[in-house]
Every structure is written in structure tokens, then in C-alpha cells.
Chain A
Amino acid sequence: MITEHSRARNIVDGLVRSILPVILALIVAGFIMLAMGSNPLDFFAGVWTYGITGGNWQRSLVLMAPLVIVAVGLIVAFRGQLWNLGYNGQYLLGAVVASGVGPYLFAALPAWLATLIIFVGAILVGAVWSLIPAILKARYGTNEIITSLVMSFIAVGIVNLLIKGPFKDPNTPMPQTAVIPDDQLLPYIPGTEIHVGFVIAIVLALVAQFVLSRTSFGLRMDIFGASPKAARHVGINSTWMVILLFALSSGLIAFAGSIDVLGQYTYQRANWDPHYGDAVMPFVFLARLSPLAAIPLVAFYAILATGGTLAAQQAGLNVDFLLVIVGLILIFMTITEYVGERRRLGQSYLPPGLRRTLVRPFDGMRGRKSS
């Protein structure tokens, strides 16, 4: 009976559980669109047209760069069962380091050195910003969901103040930072219009995958995530672990912000917040907190978001409808998970023969040999 779940079957199982929720969410979202008087087929056709065809796939890949890095940042925290939900503020802090300090650095230093300093600066700012939630969690067990969220709202305010104040471009009446010239932005991958941030993101995901699954640090993280008590018994310093994981997570998300500004946006407006973390969240779970598995799922969302922005307007909807789709994916993900667990665990009291008939009633008809 143990061999019933072979490796291949596990992979198929995992695929079904990752993709089914997305399909169900899209179907339900379609019905909601119908109820709102929009044509869902137009919308999905629009997603295809504006997200993939022509040169649009390149725009989708550009969007993937920050999304993948944010996903890795979330995975690092979630693996340790730390709920870092302050991602919006952390992202904007990283972005404002690039857009606000960037113009001064580029004016004074060679582009490569300025870029490096911006990246390191963004990561440090993100890491330091996470210290308050991390220390409160480690010392007093204060719920990090709340503290990181509250810190995020404060960060959004600070970023807006910076953009309207010291970082404001004096040459425009709009509250925004100075535009970084094209020749100082991240270079394109030769032959495309995709900046190298995309490559950095993919490499980062691969490295994270290796560290998490093949090194002792990854194992310690998983032990800590599974049970901080058990972690203490094998000599893992849980205070340090909370602070380190939070800093890594927040630093990576801030890094995504700086890459996005240097690769795509070239400047930053006040009150701008792309909410990448909210969007990426379900796919991080669907990927079972694996950076490698997150890549294709994030690619799917990047296409949906790139195409969906225009497609939603065409279908007479607001872009915020994407939030509904993402929320639905989250709900169907938990339901799929529930049904999956039920099938495996809940029916184990049945005799094996009866159980197989119940779980897979059509096996006999296909004439497969029953063991």
C-alpha cells in the first residue's frame, strides 16, 4: 500500500493541486464578470493578445523580474513559518532607494558601481526595516502579521514624504523623482527588450532553491519552521533565526523594488504602489514554497497581469478585478488542498479494496491490473 504513491504519481498529484485551483478561480471569475455584464471570453482573449502575442511576452517577462524576487522573499519567511506581510512597504522602500538616491549616485559614480551601491543599499534598508517586527516576535512573541503590516503602512507614508520632499524632481510640478537616463539603467538582454533584472531574478530563484533544499541551512530553516521547540533542541538559536529570516525576506523584497525601478520604471511617483506581494502570495503557496516551482506560476500571473490590465479596460472592468481573481485562487487552493488531504488521510479506515474502488472507481474499467 505504501508504494501506491509513487514518485511520478506524487508529481502528477502536485501538478493537479497547483493548477486546478487556478482553473477553478478563472471559471468562477468568468461567471462574476458575466454577472457584472462583461464578457469573460473577451477578457481572456485580451489577456492572451496583450500578454503574449506580438512583443507582449517581453513585457510579461519584464514584470516577472520583481515578482519572482518578491516570491523568493516571501518563501524565505514562510518556510520558517514567519508571516511577513509587510511586503508592500518593503518593496517601496527598496524602490525609493533606487529612484531617490539613484540620480545622485549615477551623476557621481560609474554606472556599474552606482547600481551595485543601490542594490546593496536597498537590501540593507529592507533588512533594517524588518528589525522591529522581528525583534518583537523573537522577544515577546508579538504576532508578526500585525507588526509587519503596520510597519508597511508607515513605510508607505515615509516613501511618499520622501518623494514629495527631498527626492522630488525640481523640474516638474508632479510629485515624482527625477528620471534616470536610459544609458544608466540596467542593460537589456541582447536582442530583446528585457532587462537583465529578469536573469538576476531567475538565478536568485535557482540559488534559493539550492540553498533551501540542498544545504544544512535550508534544513535548519525547515526544522525551525516545523517546530521552533524542536529547533531549540538541535541547537538552533530561534531568536537569531527569526531576525535573520525576516531580514533576508524583507531585504529581498526591497531588492525587487530597486531592480524594478532601475530596469523598468526609471522614476517613482508618490502614492504609487503595485501591490506585488498580494498578487504573488497565492502562487507562492501553490508552489509549495519552492522557489523553482514558483517560476512558472509567477510567469502565469505576469501574463495575466500584463494582458489583464488592458483586457480589463476593454471588458469594461477596472484593473482591481485582478485582485478578485487572486483572492479566488487562494480560496480554491485551500479547498483543493482540503479535498486532497481528505482523499489521502480521511478514508484510511476503509478496507484497502473498497477504498481503491471508492477513490478510483474507474480503474477496473480501464482494465489496469490491480495489485
Chain B
Amino acid sequence: MSVLSAAFVTVFIATVIAQAMPLLLASVGETIGEQAGVLNLGIEGVMLIGAFSGFVVTLATGNFWLGMLAGAVGGVIANLAMLVLNVWLGLNQIVIGLAITLIGEGLTSVLYLQNYSKSSTSLGTAPELHIPFLADIPVVGPAIFQQSGIFWVSLLLAIAVGFFLAKTNWGLSIRSAGQKPSSLDAAGGSVVKIRSQAVILGGAFVGFGGAYLAELTTATFTPFITNGLGFIAIVITMLSRGRIVFVVITSFVYGLAVAIGPALQVLGFAVPADVIKMLPFIVVILTLIIFARSSVVPPALGAPYTRGAR
């Protein structure tokens, strides 16, 4: 197949989008939490739980929108542990995050193998939304404008979060809870309330991202399907410094890094699967080395807020 053939480019663009979207959604969720001062290391587990809930519901009902909703609900439920133990009780975020990751990995793997390992688990393809006129553009049309409606809703949600974080009072409260919680407290806001909202909303996005991965990217669930994607989301969040525009850009750079591997294989270069799996991580570590100084996190990140404590 030639590099310039229309079908090849179309598939390539579609792959980039399919790989970038779960990461984008998860990073948006993590951004909300981190801006409010909650570093959620359990995001890998939350994604898996979201992916599994979405998979189960879509497999049972055949409805992709219900599956996405279930993924978001699953994410919120998984994040409740972080909410109660860290935001309310002030326990160590790193330890709880690891616990959520382990439980998410273990539970989804055990449940999947117990219930679904023997039957066909392909979800098929989600109904596509043909956008009039745009869908008819030769190469780009089928790749971008014939996506499922879920893609557009996801993109809109991400942009909405970016707007709310940057331009509204609520966003300001979120950011102050991460920058200087005591000032939010002094201004009459409640740090615990704001952080609770952030963790719940963040969980919904991360779960949504997990469901996107299972529903649209792979169309099935396998144990450990995220394979470190949650941790990449944390890196992207750190590098983006709370700006959703950068989250979107870096997520698509990641999508490119993943899509290049299979594309090279199609073109006849024998690239080992392990190299393809490593590539995004190498890109990430190189980015971290080059932009080491700009990976700034909110000052109160990781610190539980105790009123009156110094």
C-alpha cells in the first residue's frame, strides 16, 4: 500500500483519533483533580473500571451511549474511595492511588475472566454520525467526519471543561484549592467541597475515557487493557499545566506516536510490537527531559488540607 493512497491516510487519521481520545478524556479528568490539589495515582484503576463497566453495559444492551454513561458512573464510584479517604479524611494520596490502581486491575481482570472469557466479546462498531457535506470530503471526511457521535460529545465536554476551568468563578475556586487552599478558605469557600466536586467530576471523565477505550478504540475489553495509559495521562496533565488546549495537543501527539507503529508495518517496515508499545513512553520521557523545567504542578498538590495547620 502506498503512503499517499487515500485509504491509508484515512485509516491513519482515524487511528490517531481513536488512540488519542481515551487519553484526552482521562487527562482532562486528571487535570480537574490536579488543579484542585488532588493527585490521583489511581487513574489507571479508575480507567479500567470505567472501561469494564462500559463494556459490560454495551455488551448487554448493545447501546454505546449507555455504555459510555456506565463508564462515567463506574469512574465516579471508583473515585469515591479517593474522595472519602483523601479529601475527607486527609490520608496519603500516593498510597490510596496505588490501592485504587491495584484493586481496579485485580477486580476487572478477575470479573472479566470469570464471566466473559469463553464467549465472543466484540462490541462491533458504534453507529457513525455522517456530518453533511464535510463527510464527503475525500480523505479527511471518512476519517474525521464519519466518527461516532460519542467522539463529538467527548470533544465538546473537554472544551467545556477548559472553558469552565479558565473563565468561571467555579474554575477559579478549583484552581485556588490547588494553589493556596487557605486563601480559598479565607474567601469563604469550602476547600473540601470544591475538592469533592473536582474528584467526582474528574472520576467521571476518567471513567468516560476508559469506556471510550473499550467501546470505540478496541471494541472489546481485555484484562489490563489500559497498559499504563493512566500514568501517561498523569504525565500529560503535568506537562499541560492545567490548560486543556495543551491536553488536547499532547494527547494527539501521543495518538500519532501510537499510530505510526502499525502504519510502518503496513508500509512494509518490520517494527517489533514491543517497540510500538514502548514508543509513547519514550516520547514521554524525552518530552520530560527536554521540558523538565516546565512540568510545574500546583503547590498544594498532594497535600491534604487541614484548616489552621501551617
Contact = CB atoms under 8 A, between A and B. Distances in A.
Majority DSSP secondary structure for residues of B touching A: helix
B61 to A, nearest CB: 22
A318 B107 CA distance: 10
Contact of A146 (B96, B107, B234, B278): B234
B285 interface: yes
Interface in A299-332: 316-318, 320-328, 330-331
A164 interface: yes
B100 A158 contact: no
A285 interface: yes
Contacts of B293: 140
A149 B105 contact: no
A154 B95 CA distance: 23
Contacts of A322: 106
B292 A140 contact: yes
B41 A145 contact: yes
- Pick the most buried of B41, B95, B238, B293: most chain A CB atoms within 10 A of its CB: B95
Contact of A334 (B96, B234, B272): B96
Most-contacted residue by chain B among A36, A83, A317, A327 (CB, 10 A): A327
The size class of the interface chain A forms with chain B is 35 or more
Nearest to A158: B278
Given A142-B288, A154-B285, A157-B274, A324 B85 contact: no
A320 B111 CA distance: 10
Interface in B60-118: 81, 85, 89-92, 94-96, 98-103, 105-107, 109-111, 113-114
B223 A320 contact: yes
A273 B1 CA distance: 37
A145 B223 CA distance: 24
A337 B89 CA distance: 11
B110 A136 contact: no
Given A132-B289, A136-B292, A330-B95, A143 B272 contact: no
24 contacts: A36-B111, A36-B114, A83-B94, A140-B295, A142-B295, A149-B231, A150-B232, A150-B285, A153-B278, A157-B275, A157-B278, A281-B98, A282-B99, A285-B95, A318-B114, A323-B103, A323-B105, A327-B98, A330-B98, A330-B102, A331-B81, A333-B95, A338-B89, A338-B90
Closest A-B pairs by Cβ, 3 of them: A323-B106, A157-B278, A327-B102
